[in-house]
Amino acid sequence: MTFLNTLLIIFLLIMLMGYLSRLFLPFLVRYTAKRMMKRMGVPFEEPKEEKRKKGTTIIDNKQTDPKEKGNLDDLGDYTEFEEIKD
């Protein structure tokens, strides 16, 4: 019976550690990231939530100039294949 009690205690401790890690791990990672950013001298910015009305759609299109289509020479080599009939 003590063996089953020991297994039950071990199982409950593992479950408790998993639950607590889900709770505290995000805070620990955020704290560590802030500390590392402060050490490197880069400011850490919190994500900003834009306040919009519910149901609105925002479409961001980058307008490209038709003159700036790019250089097609940098795309790679063209390989011409021939069909071989058996």
The tens digit of pLDDT for each residue in 45-75 reads 666 666 777 777 777 666 666 555 666 666 6
Other Cβ atoms closer than 10 A to 37: 13
Average pLDDT taken over every residue of the chain: 80
Q: Angle 47-49-51 (CA atoms, 0-180°, nearest 5)?
A: 165
Tokens of 3: 């063996």
What count of Cα atoms within 13 Å lies in the side-chain half-sphere of residue 23? 6
Token representation of residue 61 = 């299109």
The pTM of this model reads 0.38
Place 41 in a pLDDT band, splitting at 50, 70 and 90: confident
